[in-house]
A and B are shown apart, each in its own frame.
Chain A
């Protein structure tokens, strides 16, 4: 299996405050990996560092190429889609405009229309509302839209920051089912940051546990889910 993303000794800073203390991990191509940890452990910062949205040092390689010095938009243009915390919906634009924006950096303009149709198949609720202002969608619908917008990039790697946040359990299940499907059918490598460890471990095949800016545990998602000590001390369920 080839390594898609390789992160070595990642250190990130917010002003004087260091948030990540030498984080190293890697993602295999085609895998669905989850990054778990408590509030303030550095999960969001890790994703933001990959997209160069926070000051960081260390080596980040995507498909063998170093990407640490690229600007955010140039990281994205390599095929790394990032669904940020809070979803980043363009609330004053329509659902369809949001989807078009997802594909705005793509050179192949012709396929955009058919990709939008494909998103409506994945997420039928978006089709019913395609002319609606995106800010009027419910939280769950906005999360679906955020995932669909990210997919419009035709990404090689998708980063999701707490997609379950603020959603009803049933909707979270639905969303995670779709993420699994996208991972399998569209061959998108996925890294999902979650606080909802139980659900994330069911979905993922690999898992990393992070605590105060360091990786403290890594391995097969099933093994971690079955290890009672790990569950009690790090995942809290």
Chain B
């Protein structure tokens, strides 16, 4: 029983990484109705920017704020330059765009900062959290930040006019224009917010996985799995999905013989497929009721 409890706790700790990333995934899905495959690379690049700032002597939280602001602006610029021209193109064209963006950002980061693994600091320290060896203060801090972002997003979408306009633009662009919403800018704003959230995810994840251009490869797939499990339409679901994927992954690794580190990634992929077949809206996603 203690083994079980410990594994759940460790699962929550890894799950925090996925939850953080899943939040960014859901954000962009809300805005553009697609998954952005370059999301992880954008987060990685932002993390490098913050690392560079710290190398130049900017204190942690200063670098944190500057990076979030930079990422928000960069997200908007990427949308304006690359994806606004593709707004009316078929989905596959957009997907090609995402993959191109993925490759470009990955190579540029490698070019600027090379591929050696770098240490990344944490503001929360890395001592055991409340005396538990399974969860560190950094992981606890990461969970706290993720939950804080979740609460802020909830209030933003539920109680602000911009949040309402963004939801409208995402769900029914034509009707949104007919109530006077500039849908094109709402999409740009969605990119900016997703990039900002992604940058926070990156800065939280980097102390765990270490900083290098490919750090997000696995994390993004888990982030997708978490978002699909929780429901792509629900930020709350995405965070819960993240923790569940983390717990699930740990329990399977512990109790099913033969599943070691090598088979952990296929578990995430299998989870995506099972959820999509059994409950496509995810655990917390809003199934859209339509009367015809």
Which residues in A have some Cβ–Cβ distance to B below 8 Å? 51, 53, 71-74, 76-77, 81-82, 84, 88-93, 97, 100-102, 104-105, 109, 133, 135-139, 142, 149, 153
Contacts and interface: CB of A to CB of B under 8 A. Distances in A.
A91 B168 contact: no
A177 to B, nearest CB: 24
Enumerate the 7 nearest inter-chain pairs by beta-carbon distance, A residue then B residue, closest first: A105-B180, A88-B175, A76-B180, A72-B177, A77-B180, A73-B177, A135-B289
Interface in B206-234: none
A73 B181 contact: yes
Nearest to A112: B161
Contacts of B161: 100, 104, 109
6 contacts: A53-B177, A73-B181, A73-B182, A101-B179, A104-B168, A133-B289
B172 A97 contact: no
Contacts of A109: 161
A93 B178 CA distance: 16
Nearest to B172: A90
B289 A51 contact: no
Nearest to B288: A92
A92 B171 contact: yes
A135 B291 contact: yes
Interface string B183-219: 1000000000000000000000000000000000000
A78 to B, nearest CB: 9
B165 interface: yes
Given A84-B174, A90-B168, A90-B171, A102 B290 contact: no
B268 to A, nearest CB: 28
Interface residues of B, number: 22
A53 B167 CA distance: 21
Given A104-B161, A135-B289, A136-B289, A90 B178 contact: no
Contacts, number: 78
B171 A93 contact: yes
Instruction: Tell which of A135, A138, A139 has the most Cβ of chain B within 10 Å.
Output: A135
Contact of A105 (B172, B174, B179, B286): B179
B68 to A, nearest CB: 27
Contacts of B175: 84, 88-90
Given A84-B174, A104-B161, A153 B291 contact: no
B276 interface: no
A159 B180 CA distance: 14
Contact of B165 (A82, A101, A133, A135): A101
Contacts of B180: 73-74, 76-77, 104-105, 153
A157 to B, nearest CB: 13
Interface string B258-279: 0000000000000000000000
B171 A105 contact: no
A138 B286 CA distance: 20
Given A90-B171, A93-B167, A101-B168, A76 B179 contact: yes
Given A97-B164, A101-B164, A91 B288 contact: yes
A207 to B, nearest CB: 25
Nearest to B165: A104
B179 A153 contact: yes
B178 A76 contact: yes
Contacts of A93: 167-168, 171
Contacts of B164: 97, 100-101, 104
A62 B56 CA distance: 57
